Amino acid sequence: MEEQSIQVELSTAKKEKPQTDQLEFGRTFTDHMFVMDYSVTDGWHNAKILPYQPISVDPAAMIFHYGQSVFEGLKAFRTPSGEVQLFRPRKNFERMNKSNERLVIPPIDEDFVLQALKKLIEIDQDWVPDTEGTSLYIRPFVFATEPFLGVAPSHQYKFMIILSPVGSYYKEGINPVKIAVEDTYVRAVKGGTGEAKTGGNYASSLIAQEVVSKKGYTQVLWLDGVEKKYIEEVGSMNVFFKIDGEVVTPKLNGSILAGVTRDSVIQLLKHWDVPVVERRIGMQELADAHEAGLLEEAFGSGTAAVISPIGALGWNGKEYTINGGKTGEISKRIYDTITGIQYGKLEDPLNWVEPITSKAKVNQ
Amino acid sequence: MEEQSIQVELSTAKKEKPQTDQLEFGRTFTDHMFVMDYSVTDGWHNAKILPYQPISVDPAAMIFHYGQSVFEGLKAFRTPSGEVQLFRPRKNFERMNKSNERLVIPPIDEDFVLQALKKLIEIDQDWVPDTEGTSLYIRPFVFATEPFLGVAPSHQYKFMIILSPVGSYYKEGINPVKIAVEDTYVRAVKGGTGEAKTGGNYASSLIAQEVVSKKGYTQVLWLDGVEKKYIEEVGSMNVFFKIDGEVVTPKLNGSILAGVTRDSVIQLLKHWDVPVVERRIGMQELADAHEAGLLEEAFGSGTAAVISPIGALGWNGKEYTINGGKTGEISKRIYDTITGIQYGKLEDPLNWVEPITSKAKVNQ
């Protein structure tokens, strides 16, 4: 693919930035956005950084009808010295292309969109907050725009990146949550789209979330769609358990999302020589381990919270309290280490951070 | 719900209408569209008929990220006397509310949107084509518009109706297609969204369609997502088989869409005293019936084609030719009867057509 240039139109009016202690997740957006179009004849083209603004879409655009879309989520962090850095951004664009393949969306040029992201963040760098636990959430996404009601892959797409300054996920420190094992609804099944980061998976999950929150649970623990026996994910995070000194997580099986934080947790544990295994985990096995006093910790992993300790699991009318409902030692150590690396406060032994350094020339 | 009024803004420039023999499915849209907004405080409000035009959507609108959307498809037909009539429209709006429930979208007022649809068609009535086999395709749809990146049901939605004049599905008369049984990808599973008409189901199906078309098949036959043994749907249609004099179709099981045409076929067969059964159908059972010479006919049913005869099934490396690759007798009789009723050329014994008669006053 020939290297594209990025046309930049700067915003004349700057929006007011919210107080960093009042930031909510995903409600405030920065001054600019990145947009790029796809057509069969031109491929990905028309790359632009524009003032953040509504986009004009035909009501027949396929996104409104047949859900052909993928997205990613990652973050930029402000270091103590004031620099801005990204956490493993290449993993996200790699995964986006895997999602694109499943959804029959043309691939993006991973290097080019990373370059575009860096340029966008440079322009909006004042939006990267600097107080404890805050960061800039980055949302790249692709959606079908061809105005056509036939069920077929679209011939036109838009790729966009929008940025949102976000507050600390844990306002009062890292806190365990209560999770309900879901036995009615199914998130994904092998042969479906569970492995892809696509809207339909999330739309499908909303109802289960609604049901359990009424019962006082924060999220659901998804079981496999075939036998409803094996653990898959928790809410929109991957899940880990520490059983008898060994950390286990469900093996990627075609219906589980390959989380970037999941991969970071596994790599970190290996780096520390803590035993970690990816394998199939039965819900009954977990209950048995709990019964035997061997279920030592449980936590979710994801970009938003990094690590979300699980204090209790509700299943079949019983509630299983884990580690006395408190954050476990390994959960805390992983959380502190990953966030330490992300904010540039700890060494980065696995080369995860990517600084945004070059003050690239802006073409106007 | 208090009756809303519909504000009407008529288009000043009328678009050129395509030749009725050159109509494609879902590519041309009429002069007007219906739009209505939802907010938590006002419910569904702001009902308008506007000139067909692009809509302005925030890039953070949840439809682009989490796929919360539903849609419907139905048709209006021109009778020999020039009247315009709808085919079972209430069934579609009923089903839309079932889809809404699964997707955690607030319900619509079925009577009100039917009234809005009639008004919209009255305004664009010149767009209802009158040549053999043509009709006006109607696409009602709902999508999440709240600009928020959290995974939760949206607090804002848009409901729209757009209209597209469509050509005869069978340019050279009703013609059997070749279908491949899908054994890699899965459309839906019990506990998922298969029963709902939502974008994600269609996005998920695109890849399977791509694979089989390269092998010369028109569509896929979906098997159940758990055992991959039982027949569910064909492409985006329901499916029927005539085995040893009896018509059978998969029983609605939570992962199959409850097609309006499916229901019409079943009702019509009962009306004719032709044996028809809804039950689980194994793919092996079907192959055995074929082996024994008892698989007499197979066809898909849906709004676009009404009846789509299946001339051959590809499964496990074998090809099963059905009825010599020709349209079967019962397939033809159902097709002729349903289309005859739709176009007002045959009596309507089951009260399926709904005329658009009242020349309602237009508020401008």
Residue B61: name the closest of A116, A236, A64 by CA. A64
Count of CB pairs separated by less than 8 Å, A with B: 222
Q: What is the pLDDT of residues B85-138, one digit of tens each?
A: 999 999 999 999 999 999 999 999 999 999 999 999 999 999 999 998 999 999
Q: What is the pLDDT of residues B23-44, one digit of tens each?
A: 989 999 999 999 999 999 999 9
For residues A137 and A164, the answer to whether their CB atoms sit within 8 Å is yes
d(CA A52, CA A13): 11
Residues A233 and A103 occupy one common structural domain: no
Among residues A121, A150, A168, the one where a domain terminates is A168
d(CA A147, CA B163): 12
Residues B143 and B212 occupy one common structural domain: no
Residues A73 and A208 occupy one common structural domain: no
d(CA B130, CA B96): 28
Token representation of residue A350: 């696995």
Minimal CA separation from A320 to chain B, in Å: 24
Q: Which residues of A touch B184 (CB under 8 A)?
A: 191
Give the H/E segment covering residue B292.
none
Residue A52: name the closest of A35, A75, A30, A25 by CA. A30
Interface check B210 vs A, CB under 8 A: yes
**Cβ within 8 Å of residue A295, ≥6 positions away:** A241, A242, A243, A286, A289, A320, A322
Q: Which residues of A touch B225 (CB under 8 A)?
A: 189, 191-192, 225-226
Percent over 90 (pLDDT), chain A? 91
d(CA B281, CA B249): 7
DSSP string, A42-95: TEEEEEEEEES--EEE-TTBTHHHH--EEE--EEEEE-TTS-EEEESHHHHHHH
Residue A42 lies in a domain: yes
For residues A112 and B214, the answer to whether their CB atoms sit within 8 Å is no
- pLDDT of the residue at B172: 66
Percent over 70 (pLDDT), chain B? 96
- pLDDT of the residue at A59: 98
Interface check B30 vs A, CB under 8 A: no
- pLDDT of the residue at B359: 44
For strand B32-39 and strand B7-8, is the pairing parallel, antiparallel, or unpaired? unpaired
Residue B340 lies in a domain: no
d(CA A62, CA A101): 17
Nearest CB to B191 within list A57, A147, A185: A185
Q: What is the pLDDT of residues A26-49, one digit of tens each?
A: 999 999 999 999 999 999 999 999
Q: What is the pLDDT of residues B67-91, one digit of tens each?
A: 999 999 999 999 999 999 999 999 9
Give the H/E segment covering residue B283.
helix B283-291
For strand A74-78 and strand A69-71, is the pairing parallel, antiparallel, or unpaired? unpaired
State whether A141 and B64 contact (CB < 8 Å): yes
pLDDT at A136 over 90: yes
Between A105 and B20, residue with greater pLDDT: A105
Residue B347 lies in a domain: no
Residue A112 lies in a domain: yes
State whether A198 and B200 contact (CB < 8 Å): yes
Interface check B198 vs A, CB under 8 A: yes
Calculate ∠ Cα B145-A197-A139, nearest 5°.
55
CA B199 to chain centroid, in Å, comes to: 13
Q: Which residues of A touch B207 (CB under 8 A)?
A: 102-104
Interface check A214 vs B, CB under 8 A: no
Residues B61 and B206 occupy one common structural domain: no
Mean pLDDT of all residues belonging to chain A:
94
Q: What is the pLDDT of residues B301-312, one digit of tens each?
A: 999 999 999 999
State phi, psi for B189 to the nearest 5 degrees.
-140, 150
Residues B210 and B309 occupy one common structural domain: yes
Residues B18 and B122 occupy one common structural domain: yes
Look at residue A288 and give its three-state secondary structure. helix
Nearest CB to B225 within list A57, A60, A225: A225
Residue B258 lies in a domain: yes
Residue B163: name the closest of B78, B55, B73 by CA. B73
- pLDDT of the residue at A171: 67
CA A78 to chain centroid, in Å, comes to: 19
Nearest CB to A225 within list B189, B204, B209: B189
pLDDT at B1 over 80: no
Token representation of residue B28: 């041309």
Among residues A136, A168, A200, the one where a domain terminates is A168
Sign of the CA dihedral with B190 first, then B192, B194, and B197 last: positive
CATH of the domain at A14: 3.30.470.10
- pLDDT of the residue at B169: 74
For residues B129 and B135, the answer to whether their CB atoms sit within 8 Å is yes
pLDDT at B251 over 60: yes
d(CA A318, CA A321): 10
State phi, psi for B359 to the nearest 5 degrees.
-85, 75
- Please give the tally of structural domains in chain A: 2
Residues B289 and B198 occupy one common structural domain: yes
Which residue has tokens 């889809």?
A: B99
DSSP string, B16-85: PPPPGGG--TTS---SEEEEEEEETTTEEEEEEEEES--EEE-TTBTHHHH--EEE--EEEEE-TTS-EE
Residue B260 lies in a domain: yes
- pLDDT of the residue at A22: 87
Residues B198 and B70 occupy one common structural domain: no
Minimal CA separation from B64 to chain A, in Å: 7
Q: Which residues of A touch B142 (CB under 8 A)?
A: none
Percent over 90 (pLDDT), chain B? 91
State whether A29 and B147 contact (CB < 8 Å): yes
Token representation of residue A106: 């043309």
In this prediction, residue B299 has a pLDDT band, given cuts at 50, 70 and 90, of: very high
State whether A104 and B206 contact (CB < 8 Å): yes
Token representation of residue B182: 């899908």
Q: What is the pLDDT of residues A192-213, one digit of tens each?
A: 999 999 999 999 999 999 999 9
Residues B232 and B127 occupy one common structural domain: no
Window 70-89 of B: residues touching A by CB (8 A cutoff) are 71, 73
Residues A87 and A161 occupy one common structural domain: yes
Report the half-sphere exposure of B241 (CA within 13 A, side-chain side). 27
State whether B27 and A148 contact (CB < 8 Å): yes
> Residue A285: which domain range?
177-327
Write the DSSP symbol of residue B147: B
d(CA B345, CA B44): 38
In chain A, whose CA is at the least distance from the CA of B183? A191
- pLDDT of the residue at A359: 44
Partner residues linked to A221 by β-bridges = A181, A234
In chain B, whose CA is at the least distance from the CA of A183? B191
Interface check B15 vs A, CB under 8 A: no
Percent over 70 (pLDDT), chain A? 96
Nearest CB to B69 within list A64, A193, A235: A64
CATH of the domain at B213: 3.20.10.10
Interface check A56 vs B, CB under 8 A: yes
Residue A33 lies in a domain: yes
State whether A153 and B193 contact (CB < 8 Å): no
- pLDDT of the residue at B3: 62
Interface check A229 vs B, CB under 8 A: no
In this prediction, residue B364 has a pLDDT band, given cuts at 50, 70 and 90, of: very low
Window 94-113 of A: residues touching B by CB (8 A cutoff) are 102-104
- pLDDT of the residue at A358: 45
Q: Which residues of A touch B213 (CB under 8 A)?
A: none
Mutate to test the interface with B, among A34, A37, A64 (most CBs of B within 10 A): A64
State whether A150 and B192 contact (CB < 8 Å): no
Print burial letters for B187-209: b (CB count within 10 Å at least 16), e (below 16): bbbbbbbbbbbbbbbbbbbbbbb
Token representation of residue B322: 């059905």
State whether A55 and B52 contact (CB < 8 Å): no
Interface check A58 vs B, CB under 8 A: yes
Calculate ∠ Cα A278-A137-A110, nearest 5°.
70
Write the DSSP symbol of residue B270: H
Nearest CB to A103 within list B137, B139, B203: B203
DSSP string, A3-49: PPP-EE---SSPPPPPPGGG--TTS---SEEEEEEEETTTEEEEEEE
Nearest CB to B65 within list A186, A189, A199: A199
DSSP string, A140-205: EEEEE--B--SSS--SEEEEEEEEEEE--S-TTS---EEEEE-SS-----TTSSTTS--HHHHHHH
Q: Which residues of B touch A68 (CB under 8 A)?
A: 199, 202-203, 206
Residue B88: name the closest of B298, B252, B265 by CA. B265
Residues B161 and B182 occupy one common structural domain: no
Minimal CA separation from A73 to chain B, in Å: 10
d(CA A280, CA B23): 52
Residues A198 and A297 occupy one common structural domain: yes
d(CA A75, CA A330): 23
Q: What is the pLDDT of residues A81-94, one digit of tens each?
A: 999 999 999 999 99
d(CA B116, CA B130): 23
- pLDDT of the residue at A80: 94
- pLDDT of the residue at B175: 86
Minimal CA separation from A42 to chain B, in Å: 21
Q: What is the pLDDT of residues B255-274, one digit of tens each?
A: 999 999 999 999 999 999 99
Indicate the burial class of B1 (C-beta count within 10 angstroms; 0-12, 13-18, 19 or more): exposed
Nearest CB to B66 within list A56, A185, A202: A202
Q: What is the pLDDT of residues B178-229, one digit of tens each?
A: 999 999 999 999 999 999 999 999 999 999 999 999 999 999 999 999 999 9
Minimal CA separation from A70 to chain B, in Å: 7
Residue A28 lies in a domain: yes
Helix, strand, coil share (%) of chain A residues, nearest 5: 25, 30, 45
Among residues B135, B168, B201, the one where a domain terminates is B168
Minimal CA separation from B293 to chain A, in Å: 32
Interface check B211 vs A, CB under 8 A: no
For residues A256 and A230, the answer to whether their CB atoms sit within 8 Å is no
